[in-house]
Structure formats: C-alpha cells, structure tokens
C-alpha cells in the first residue's frame, strides 16, 4: 500500500507577545505544519518555533522573507502590520495570509472610521463626536454631561481611553492626546469580547472571553493592554451572543463588503451588555491579548487547518470545536507597568509553574548573557489553566502563578472572579 504523506506547509507568525506564543504553541501541535517561524518571537516562543528577526510592519520586507523561505501561510498577530498593509502586500504577491487588508483594519486603526460606519448602518454603540484635535474638543467636553469618555482616534495599545468622572479629568486627558480624538457618551454594564472568524464570505462565530483591563484588583487604576482573561465570558449568554452577531457583527461585515473593503481574518468585538442590549465599544482586527491565551487552551480543533482555510476562502469547510472547560489566564507584568516598566529583572520558577499543569505563555521575555530569563517589556508572562468551572480554572492558574519567583513583577489576584 502506498502511504501518501499529508501536505505540510511552513508557517510564519508575526509578533512576539503572549498571544503569539499561544498561537505558536497551538500551531506546533498540527500535523499540517512543517517549519514554524516567528518574528520576532520571544524566549518562550523559541521553544516551539524558530525566532527570526524581521521588520514585521514593512510590507516589502515581509513579502521578501516569506518568498525566500517558501512560507505557505503568514499569520499576523498584532494590529501594526495590518494597518501598515502587510496583508495586502502578501495577497498581492499571491501568498496565503491570515489577517485583514489595511482598508479593513481601519475598524481598529481609526475609532472615528468605525463610529461613522456604526452611525451609517445603525449599529448600537455609544453616541459620539469626532474632533480633528484635542483643542477643538475642549469646549464640547467642558459642556458634556458626566461621566464622559475621551479616546485617541488612532492606535494606542489599549491605553488611549479615559472614562472621566469630572470635566477637569476629561480636559487633562485631552492634553495628553496629540492627534484626532473621539468623545463618547459613557455606557454602563458588564463587558465581553466576542471573536468571529470570516474569510469575507463565511462567518464563523468563535467563542467569547472577558478581559480585565484595569491594572489593579477590583478594576482599579489605569487601563492596560489586559491583565487577565476568562473564556468563555460568563456574562455573554447564547441569546446575547446571537443578538450581538445579528445586530452588530453581521451589519458591520456587510457594510465593509458593500464599501468594497471586505473584512477577512478575526474580528474581535468589545461589547458592553447594557440594559438596552449589547452595544459595541470597539473593534479589534486581530486576536486579543491575553484572551487568545485562554482561547487556545480551549480550542480542540487544528488551528493551522482553520487559519489556512480562512486565508484560502474555504472557511465553510472547517469548524472549530471548543472544550466545555473554562480557561483563565493571569498576566504577570513588570513593576512600573502600564507606565515605564522596569526591565532586566530575573524570572525563575516557570518550569515549576508548568509542573502544576498550568501553561506559562511568554510575552516580554528574553535570555540575558548569563542565560537567565529576564523581563523585557511591560506584560511579561500569561499563566493559563483550565478547569471544570471558573473557580477550578482560577485556582489552577494561580497555583501556577504562585510557583513563579519574580520580585520584579506583579499580577492581579482577582482574575476570573
Ligand atoms: P477601548 O480601547 O475602546 O476598548 O476602551 C477601553 C475600555 O474603556 C473599555 O473596555 C471600557 O471599559 C471603557 N470604555 C470605552 N468606551 C466606553 C464608553 N463609551 N462607555 C463606557 N466605557 C467605555
Ligand atoms: N486585551 C485587549 C486587546 O487585545 O486589545
């Protein structure tokens, strides 16, 4: 009998955060994947992929690298390369890429763009006004009922938003924002993140997560890129999810297609579950970080097969199946985050943490000259575990966290509560 070997492809992942470690960890489990490369990667990713140096937001550089290395699929992690047109350049060169075009990435790249789209097609979201500069917004903000939300229009790594309880706070926020701004009505209710894959034709709702954005326990302190997550989001019932897909996701994707800029990739909707139903807070055009770390622990299907099918507009051929278990991820950040983080501190205990059954995904880590694992950015580790319910998942994640010996870092103690 003749054995036919399965088609294998080499994959390049762009990014070097905890999200990319989780994606690489999952991709590495696929029999479809030959070589797995990651640019720039980090000390944890180096255990499952070959880390390479590459200007990941330079479209021509990424195309040249992918060609030279005969890459069969490029998976783009962060928003920067998407907004810079890396996916467009790869598609134009005939290569398979998971991630939207620059035009479609405006859903994340410009809050004003998204708010205008919502207004045009009637998507439920906070009332808003756009201004070309902070100066132009001052009079409007001073007269706006409180609380009021002040946002940078462009990319701000999750830190461009101020929910101001006083006019003085709102005006101070404007002082810190250099470019165009969006001023919004403040909505109230629990939040949930919903992830939907689409190839521009098929819409495949994935699963949900809840992100913990504030730096301190009890949702105190400034916003961060995310200090932890739980998946699925306990507050998002199936009925609310279906309502959000019908009233928010589908009209958005239809409007993007109508405008000649169809969206393909993962659309991440930040939702607020208000007394009047789900409302859109914002879109991201990529996987969430740290939500992805929790999602990948629950995904039972072959990630490479799904992302390749999405890139090749065959998403209808595959389905994602999810473990009914709950997953919790706890971010450990370097002291000083979300301000200027103290880097270079030595981290020990990751192997002991993994021996508990938790997974330690790396974000800002590297090896120093002595070979020690050291902090290299604000968010450093994402310790992730699953359990039969949120309590069990929480306990398992913190059992891992408690084995990490790192005086230079901190974490929230209430993720998943
Ligand atoms: P964003 O970067 O737009 O997701 O905003 C970060 C966080 O700010 C959100 O997760 C919310 O907690 C909060 N936020 C943003 N917009 C609003 C709004 N219009 N009303 C209330 N809270 C908001
Ligand atoms: N965790 C929030 C984000 O990925 O934008």
What confidence tens digit (pLDDT) does each residue in 211-223 have?
Answer: 999 999 999 998 8
For the chain, what percent of residues have pLDDT higher than 90?
89
Which residue among 211, 224, 296 has the greatest number of ligand 2 atoms within 8 angstroms of its CB, and so is best to mutate? 211
pLDDT at 157: 62
Nearest bound ligand to the CA of residue 17:
2
Confidence of residue 134 (pLDDT cuts 50, 70, 90): confident
Which residue among 164, 173, 191, 272 has the greatest number of ligand 1 atoms within 8 angstroms of its CB, and so is best to mutate? 272
Nearest bound ligand to the CA of residue 77:
2
Nearest bound ligand to the CA of residue 210:
2
| SS3 readout for 128-177 | EEEECCHHHHHHHHHHCCCCEEEEECCCCCCCCEEEECCHHHHHHHHHCC
5 pLDDT higher than 80:
no
| Sign of CA pseudo-dihedral 171, 125, 295, 285 | negative
Kindly state if the Cβ of 226 falls inside 6 Å of ligand 2.
Answer: yes
pLDDT at 6: 66
4 pLDDT higher than 80:
no
Share the mean pLDDT of the chain: 95
The Å distance, Cα 137 to ligand 1 centre, comes to 18
Which residue among 118, 281, 288, 290 has the greatest number of ligand 1 atoms within 8 angstroms of its CB, and so is best to mutate? 281
- Six token digits for residue 154: 């462009």
Confidence of residue 3 (pLDDT cuts 50, 70, 90): low
pLDDT at 249: 98
1 pLDDT higher than 60:
no
The Å distance, Cα 35 to ligand 2 centre, comes to 28
Which residue has the least CA distance to atom 3 on ligand 2?
288
Residue with tokens 């209430």: 414
Confidence of residue 364 (pLDDT cuts 50, 70, 90): very high
Q: What is the arithmetic mean of pLDDT over 10-19? A: 98
Pairing of strands 161-164, 181-185: unpaired
37 pLDDT higher than 90:
yes
Phi, psi (deg, nearest 5) at residue 240:
-70, -35
Which residue among 231, 289, 294, 337 has the greatest number of ligand 2 atoms within 8 angstroms of its CB, and so is best to mutate? 289
Nearest bound ligand to the CA of residue 191:
1
Hey, is 40 helix, strand or coil?
strand
- Six token digits for residue 377: 């950015």
Report CA 114 to chain centroid distance, whole Å. 18
The tens digit of pLDDT for each residue in 387-415 reads 999 999 999 999 999 999 999 999 999 99
pLDDT at 206: 96
pLDDT at 336: 97
Cβ neighbours, 10 Å, residue 231? 34
Kindly state if the Cβ of 205 falls inside 6 Å of ligand 2.
Answer: no
> Which value, to the nearest 10 degrees, does the dihedral of the CA atoms of residues 92, 96, 100, 103 take?
0
253 pLDDT higher than 70:
yes
Q: How far apart are CA 48 and CA 244, in angstroms?
A: 36
Which residue has the least CA distance to atom 4 on ligand 1?
282
Return the ligand 2 atom nearest residue 289 CA: 4
The Å distance, Cα 226 to ligand 2 centre, comes to 6
Model pTM score: 0.95
Report CA 259 to chain centroid distance, whole Å. 25
Q: How far apart are CA 245 and CA 286, in angstroms?
A: 17
Nearest bound ligand to the CA of residue 229:
2
Which of 60-69, 104-113, 286-295, 403-412 shows the lowest mean pLDDT across its residues? 104-113
The tens digit of pLDDT for each residue in 288-345 reads 999 999 999 999 999 999 999 999 999 999 999 999 999 999 999 999 999 999 999 9
Task: List all residues whose CB is within 6 A of at least one atom of ligand 1.
Answer: 126, 149, 158, 161, 163, 184, 186-187, 191, 213, 223, 270, 281-282
Residue with tokens 């088609």: 7
Return the ligand 1 atom nearest residue 184 CA: 19
Kindly state if the Cβ of 79 falls inside 6 Å of ligand 2.
Answer: no
- Largest alpha-carbon pair distance within the chain? 79
Q: How far apart are CA 86 and CA 66, in angstroms?
A: 11
The Å distance, Cα 158 to ligand 2 centre, comes to 7
Confidence of residue 112 (pLDDT cuts 50, 70, 90): confident
Domains and CATH numbers, the chain: 9-98 (3.40.50.20), 127-185 (3.30.1490.20), 189-317 (3.30.470.20), 326-410 (3.90.600.10)
Phi, psi (deg, nearest 5) at residue 182:
-120, 130
């Amino acid at each position: 009998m003749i054995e036919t070997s399965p088609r294998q492809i080499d994959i390049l992942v762009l990014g070097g955060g905890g999200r990319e470690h989780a994606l690489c960890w999952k991709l590495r489990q696929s029999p479809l994947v030959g070589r797995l490369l990651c640019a720039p990667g980090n000390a944890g990713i180096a255990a499952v992929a070959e880390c390479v140096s590459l200007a990941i937001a330079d479209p021509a550089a990424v195309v040249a690298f992918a060609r030279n290395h005969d890459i069969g699929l490029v998976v783009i992690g962060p928003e920067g390369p998407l907004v810079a047109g890396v996916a467009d350049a790869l598609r134009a060169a005939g290569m398979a890429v998971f991630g939207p075009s620059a035009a479609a990435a405006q859903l994340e790249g410009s809050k004003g763009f998204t708010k205008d789209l919502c207004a045009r097609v009637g998507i439920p979201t906070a009332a808003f006004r756009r201004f070309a500069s902070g100066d132009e917004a001052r009079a409007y903000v001073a007269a706006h009922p409180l609380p009021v939300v002040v946002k940078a229009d462009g990319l701000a790594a999750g830190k461009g938003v101020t929910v101001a309880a006083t006019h003085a706070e709102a005006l101070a926020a404007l002082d810190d924002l250099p470019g165009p701004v969006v001023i919004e009505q403040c909505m109230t209710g629990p939040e949930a993140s919903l992830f939907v894959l689409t190839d521009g034709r098929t819409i495949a709702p994935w699963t949900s997560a809840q992100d913990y954005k504030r730096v301190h326990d009890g949702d105190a302190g400034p916003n961060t890129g995310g200090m932890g997550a739980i998946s699925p989001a306990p507050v998002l019932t199936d009925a609310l999810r279906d309502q959000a897909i019908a009233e928010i996701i589908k009209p958005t994707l239809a409007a993007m297609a109508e405008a000649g800029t169809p969206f393909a990739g993962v659309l991440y909707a930040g939702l607020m579950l208000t007394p009047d139903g789900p409302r859109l807070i914002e879109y991201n055009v990529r996987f969430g970080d740290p939500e992805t770390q929790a999602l990948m622990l629950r995904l039972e299907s072959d990630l490479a097969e799904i992302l390749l099918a999405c890139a090749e507009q065959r998403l209808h051929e595959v389905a994602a199946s999810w473990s009914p278990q709950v997953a919790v991820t706890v971010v450990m950040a370097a002291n000083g985050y979300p301000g200027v983080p103290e880097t270079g501190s030595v981290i020990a205990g990751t192997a002991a943490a993994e021996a508990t059954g938790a997974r330690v995904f790396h974000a800002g880590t590297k090896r120093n000259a002595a070979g020690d694992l050291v902090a290299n950015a604000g968010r450093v580790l994402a310790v992730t575990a699953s359990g039969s319910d949120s309590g069990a998942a929480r306990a398992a994640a913190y059992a891992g966290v408690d084995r990490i010996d790192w005086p230079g870092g901190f974490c929230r103690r209430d993720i998943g509560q």
